[in-house]
Structure 1
Amino acid sequence: MYRDHTKEVQIGNVTIGGGNPIRIQSMTNTKTEDVEATVAQILALEKAGCEIIRCAVPNMDAAKAIGEIKKQIHIPLVADIHFDYKLAIAAIENGADKIRINPGNIGDEQRVRAVVEKAKEYGVPIRVGVNSGSLEKHLVEKYHGVTAEGLVESALDKIQLIEEMGYNNLVVSIKSSDVMMCVKAHELIAKKCPYPLHVGITEAGTLLAGNIKSSVGLGLILGQGIGDTIRVSLTGSPLEEIKTAKIILKTLGLRTGGIEVVSCPTCGRTQIDLIGLANQVEEMVADIPLDIKVAVMGCVVNGPGEAKEADIGIAGGKGEGLLIKKGEIVKKVKEEELLETLRQELLHWNE
């Protein structure tokens, strides 16, 4: 279902679906039962811009830790459950704002019902997750392999199962590491499912491959108006997932805020360490709450012209650099002062 038509679902203090803003989600990689480490990571993720956090609940200690973690964080917590339905029940009782289950690996219908009844009692939404890696055998056979159609049928079957138990406080995710299969599955399910969709390319890979695959996949899906929450899955720090998610949403025009850094590719005219400078600028502006474009240019020949569309920019020359505003050169400074000059301009931007 396209974003503005999906059902609204309340996750803690955050509302998703029904045309609400697309929310950025991530997952902790600490041991959930280690409350101190988990809280520290969640607080860092909150600062970076994470709006919903998911924690693995592989054992009862982890389920019990949720209550303690929740006291110290400010964003909704989703408990990620596989196999053991008792963990889902315990997670809900300990304050999880949402639970993620794959009804296919929770066990028989009676166990799924026990989880649904507990979720109903506490008013906790259930995210029904289907993954290409665990598609039911009969669907693999029916569609002659793992396909988008099979993923969608599996998800719809599970939705129907929970609906028949009298519960429709649901969020749906269908994930695959095959980008184009994932895109097709979302296009199919958007026409058939009234619930908010959590979108991500699962097992996308390392920082390089994962960022590219996630950007292509999420771009194609979100660009069609499909998706209510997103997660960029990376084999790396969860903080990197948030950075990428913010850039994807900003690039697609689905979110404003935050400084956008544009920088030119290096060429033979470059006489400064442009790569180092651009990275330093990107790091420096991460916490500055302005909605502007900053250009970092490698030479004084094309710099001012190329930086015209940016609100402010710097261009490097030999041992010196230019400060540029709206394409106009406003100041010439020593190369080593370029970064600090830009920083001071940004810190006093609205004065």
Structure 2
Amino acid sequence: MEEKIIRKKTKEVQIGSKIIGGSHPILIQSMTNTRTEDVKGTIAQIQRLTEAGCEIIRCAVPTMEAAEALAEIKKGITIPLVADIHFDYRLALAAIEHGADKIRINPGNIGARERIQAVIDAAKERNIPIRVGVNSGSLEKELVERYHGVTAEGIVESALDKVHLIEELGYDNLVISIKSSDVLMCVRAHELIANRTDYPLHVGITESGTITSGNIKSAMGLGMILSQGIGDTIRVSLTGDPLEEIKSAKIILRTLGLRKGGIEVVSCPTCGRTQIDLIGLANQVEAMVSDIPLELKVAVMGCVVNGPGEAKEADIGIAGGIGEGLIIKHGEIYKKVKEEDLLEALRHELLHWGE
């Protein structure tokens, strides 16, 4: 019997047209790497990310021009927009004024209490959620000293201190984000905070690295956190094209059984029996199925010796040989085709699935 992850119940929070927390699905988030002041370029990137499966987008707001640009950006996109604010509370006020669906702040770097109050009042007036973000790299000196270094306990205390401050100032429409580039520290911090708050949690491994190392660290960290039922939104933070973050997030959620939909591609490793370009073929299949709205498992196998058996658990599969290939359905050989026609034959079967 398939194991099912029991998610921890958190408060429901509305972000634009989306709702997180409660029993709502875990949503995929990313962040633009365009200059937010470049309205046309930012809209174009958000549209590509949306098509790929991004459900919430965050934009950096380092200048007043960027804050003002949010109004035009909002007109060209269909998913909620989060304004990322650091240091200058006036940018938070401007972002809210120009239509941000949520703002991300660290109250510790916003400044005086009255400045935080001004941001809270503006958010409260429009019922815009505030994401309280704390990273291990910006942990307060006194907490570092108290815990003898940067620790999960210190990160959690820092985040909850800021949450309590905002609550004292009269607002509780909040989302919490606690991140570290140290995978085990990040996992431990989420385990601790999940037992001390019912606010929704945005989960990710920050500064995880390049496409290769970042994907591995994110998959391990998010896998350990999400498998405990913790998390309401996720971001796979990668040094690369944000589109890669969406692809990875979808795979992580689908692998854990937290997201259905889309075609899952499984492929065997290469070996001395492989007589086709299996690496190229597997990559071509993965790209080819990305726009096909089916919920299936597709196997890509390297030889006709073990291919049918290895593909038995898949809905459909292909196996390559010298000059020819097999189409396999539900573990049985369905037809033989020429090697050069294998990819197109698979696509034809998928496009006519169920007919």
Normalised by the length of structure 2, the TM-score is 0.98
Distance 1:131 1:3 in 2: 24
Out of 28, 39, 44, the position equivalent to 2:32 is 28
1:129 is aligned with what amino acid? G
Distance 2:149 2:34 in 1: 35
Unaligned runs of 5+ in 2: 1-5
Contact residue 3 and residue 196 of structure 1 kept, 8 A: no
Query: How far 1:4 sits from its partner (Å)?
Result: 4.2
Contact residue 308 and residue 331 of structure 2 kept, 8 A: yes
Query: How far 1:108 sits from its partner (Å)?
Result: 1.2
Out of 35, 53, 57, the position equivalent to 2:57 is 53
Distance 1:55 1:192 in 2: 29
* Corresponding residue pairs, total: 350
Contact residue 26 and residue 54 of structure 1 kept, 8 A: yes
Q: Does 1:321 align with 2:321?
A: no
Out of 124, 128, 132, the position equivalent to 1:124 is 128
Q: Does 1:17 align with 2:17?
A: no
Query: How far 1:302 sits from its partner (Å)?
Result: 0.2
Query: How far 1:350 sits from its partner (Å)?
Result: 2.8
Task: Give the corresponding residue for 1:301.
Answer: 305
The correspondence of residues 180-259 of structure 1 with structure 2, limited to 5 A, is: 180-259=184-263
1:34 is aligned with what amino acid? D
3-state secondary structure, aligned to 2:167? helix
| Structure 1 segments of 4+ aligned residues over 3 angstroms from their partners | none
Q: Does 1:287 align with 2:288?
A: no
Distance 1:72 1:39 in 2: 6
Normalised by the length of structure 1, the TM-score is 0.99
Contact residue 7 and residue 228 of structure 2 kept, 8 A: no
Distance 1:227 1:58 in 2: 28
Distance 2:237 2:176 in 1: 17
Task: Give the corresponding residue for 1:149.
Answer: 153
- Tell me the alpha carbon deviations over residues 111-170 of structure 1, each in whole angstroms, 9 at most, x when there is no partner: 111100100011100000001010000000000000000000000000000000110000
3-state secondary structure, aligned to 2:133? strand
Task: Give the corresponding residue for 1:41.
Answer: 45
3-state secondary structure, aligned to 1:257? coil
Contact residue 8 and residue 230 of structure 2 kept, 8 A: no
3-state secondary structure, aligned to 1:315? strand
The CA RMSD over aligned residues, in Å, is 0.7
Contact residue 4 and residue 17 of structure 1 kept, 8 A: no
3-state secondary structure, aligned to 2:291? coil
Task: Give the corresponding residue for 2:115.
Answer: 111
**Percent pairwise identity:** 78
3-state secondary structure, aligned to 1:155? helix
Unaligned runs of 5+ in 1: none
